[in-house]
Structure 1
Amino acid sequence: MGIYQAEDLQTFVSQVLQKLDVQKEDAKVVAEGLIRANLEGLDSHGISRLVVYAARLQDKRINNHPDINIKMIAPSAILVDGDNGLGHVVAFRGLKEGIEVAKEQGLAAVSIHSSNHFGTASYFCQLASQEGMIFFACTNSPPGIAPWGGTKAFFGTNPLAFGFPAKDRTPVIIDMSTSTVARGKIILAAKQEMLIPDGWALDQHGNMTNDPNEALQGTILPTGGAKGAALALAVEILAGVLTGAAISPNVKNIYDEKLVGGADVGHFFLLLDSKVYKESTAYENRLNYLLNLMKGIPTSSSDKPIRYPGERREKERKTRNHKGIELAESIYNELEQLGDELGVMFPSSCEAMLKKKI
């Protein structure tokens, strides 16, 4: 186990991807998205994903030079064919186009197909907030949870996210899976040979399990029971049906070594230009008023103030930016091996650098 500077890890990710013939600007987007997840404490969606991305680029099951096609299908509606590119890259291109359209039209809907895992939806919420966009994002994913009452994985964990830019404060960012826990956390637990808590998942026989490998063969429980399963369906309609991407059990898993062809993941974005609402309804001032009212509610513990979604992420980002990002030994070993194979040196840990200085 070691602690590493975010900037060093980001450089490593970018160099690895460029060695795999990913364009420099595209590699930068993926590197930033992955390390941002680590900085915010979402390690399941961070640099640990690089190894499988690299494997799929190497075996040509993810396109390192996608010909991303962006088409306007209505004045405020955009359809994106990701050509099986890296999910971060495809989503970033779609978001960039959506921002431009929303600035002109006041709003934009972006439907994306033929993509892959795009990391955390919160990353795109942050990018949209920087441009003053109120943002909604959702994506489908490989089968992970059963329909309510079912025993076989059908829907993906199908996360959805909201981003609200706020005046002179951290944006409000709500990023949640429709399952009790993100599948990535179970994948990470399996890599680290750790047990998972009760209530996360069932094995393939429908029994509660603490074994992450059994959970990956079975089903993850939906958050809030039937409500979570209903949300998963809604996301599937937006990200799968509406976009023209693969639907539910047809979405492929990039961790599957027998994967043939692209995963065909779908994403759906909705952007509203907050400037329109700033002028008509005083959006910024009213949002600040709401947040201040919420924070003024009496708390159950004096040392635990009320925080709105997005504040914890930002606090963790600042802490890890200063103290570094801790990587488990299993993750470090995988990354170092990947670097050795491609001729990219994995960075030294903060402890190692300190010893050199001494």
Structure 2
Amino acid sequence: MSASTLFDVPGLVRLASQVLAAHGVPEADALLTARSLVQADQRGIYSHGLLRLPLYAEALRLGGINAAPSMTWTRDTGSVAALDADAALGQVAMQAAVDHVLERGAAHGIAAVAVSNSSHYGAGAFWSDQLAAAGFLTVLTSTTGPVVAPHGGIEKVLGTNPLTLGAPSAGEWPLTADLATSSGAYGKVIAARNEGTQLPEGWAVDSEGRPTTDPVAAAEGSMIPFGGHKGSAVAVLLEAFAASLTDATYAFETVDIWSNPASRMNNGHLLIGLDTAAFGGREHTQTRVQTLQERVRGSGPGGRPVLAPGDPERLREQEHAATVSLPTSTADQLAELAARLGLDPIQPVPTSAATSSERTQR
């Protein structure tokens, strides 16, 4: 991250909630969404944090996102359900899906919810964490707007098609993998464009299919899947999983709100939860998962520690429990948004209040 500004976490949650409420979002939904965005920033996932708040606000203003949706369960057979989210904020749709999986999974041992007519739901671990806390294994994926070319192609056929896997642990936090199946999150392309920085090599091609590190050229061209043909295969299958069970649109059928905030994207999500109590028991699974976590952490050369999946984000969140640094471009956008809505801007925390780790990152 380049130049940044330090803010207190409660103030950011309050401002984000107020911005959403000013666009007609009910208080509880606004708070939920704000917490999702701010936690992403605390964990260093700036592509899914408050960078997106101005986009959400504009989509709410223009109708691409429905502030007060009438969500409908179009199918409910016990352990399997389908939810039409009525163009809701993705966080609102996902909380309904999580609550449903928790209830039905406890009754049946496994539950799945396919969501259609939704939008961006933020970082996937925000949802898998809730399920892990209740002893559930989680599989979660989603469609997005069209930004990724399949391996060997140059057309934007796929989305970033995130995959979140979560397993409860007897340790301090769950074992979690939360990743885009593109080489990087599209929000990081937007962040690089806003910051005037370059992308890592191997992330994107321009409109002619030539490798590029220029975020502007990447936005006009395509991102590419991680892992060559294998990653591309995973991305294609996740697209099918997220959209084919309902009337959700594939990425290549979608107009992204990044391009047109008035677009109702009709994103599809698929959430699957397995209640470990129905198998070997929650305590058994949590202990076994912790064993794997610790074995991974202890596998470094010369006794040097290795980070297990999910560790980097959790450690950063601990360091930023009270304050978090935002890219200056994001801070400026938040200030402009607050001024436009007549809200009190959040004041930066003096640099002297930053922790040593925060000052280093700044």
Which SS does the other structure have where 1:321 is aligned? coil
Pair 1:308-2:308 in alignment: yes
TM-score (norm 2): 0.92
1:284 deviation in Å? 2.2
Unpaired runs of at least 5, structure 1 = none
1:65-214 superposed matches below 5 A:
65-214=68-217
Deviations 1:200-240, CA, capped at 9 Å, x for gaps: 11000111112101101111121000011101111111101
1:71 and 1:145, CA in 2 relative to 1: closer, same or farther beyond 3 A?
A: same
| Correspondence for 2:238 | 235
1:102 deviation in Å? 0.5
| Correspondence for 2:18 | 15
1:291 deviation in Å? 2.6
Deviations 1:69-117, CA, capped at 9 Å, x for gaps: 1244322101000000111111111111111110111110110000001
| Correspondence for 1:52 | 55
1:328 deviation in Å? 2.3
Count residues with an aligned counterpart: 350
TM-score (norm 1): 0.93
1:186 and 1:231, CA in 2 relative to 1: closer, same or farther beyond 3 A?
A: same
Identify which of 29, 41, 48 aligns with 2:32: 29
Structure 1 range deviating more: 185-194 or 65-74: 65-74
Q: Tell me which stretches of 4 or more aligned residues in structure 1 moved more than 6 Å.
A: none
Which SS does the other structure have where 1:169 is aligned? coil
Amino acid at match of 2:270: F
Identify which of 253, 259, 265 aligns with 1:250: 253
CA contact (8 A) 1:70 1:94 kept: no
- In the aligned structure 2, how far is the partner of 1:242 from the partner of 1:294? 36
- In the aligned structure 1, how far is the partner of 2:293 from the partner of 2:5? 38
1:251 deviation in Å? 2.2
Structure 1 range deviating more: 267-276 or 343-352: 343-352
- In the aligned structure 2, how far is the partner of 1:276 from the partner of 1:204? 50
CA RMSD after TM alignment: 1.7
- In the aligned structure 1, how far is the partner of 2:339 from the partner of 2:16? 13
| Correspondence for 2:321 | 321
CA contact (8 A) 1:179 1:220 kept: yes
1:210-229 superposed matches below 5 A:
210-229=213-232
- In the aligned structure 1, how far is the partner of 2:298 from the partner of 2:317? 25
- In the aligned structure 1, how far is the partner of 2:200 from the partner of 2:321? 29
- In the aligned structure 2, how far is the partner of 1:43 from the partner of 1:110? 27
- In the aligned structure 2, how far is the partner of 1:318 from the partner of 1:241? 38
Which SS does the other structure have where 1:350 is aligned? coil
1:300 deviation in Å? 2.9
1:256 deviation in Å? 1.1
- In the aligned structure 1, how far is the partner of 2:256 from the partner of 2:206? 18
Unpaired runs of at least 5, structure 2 = 354-362
Structure 1 range deviating more: 43-52 or 1-10: 1-10
Pair 1:286-2:288 in alignment: yes
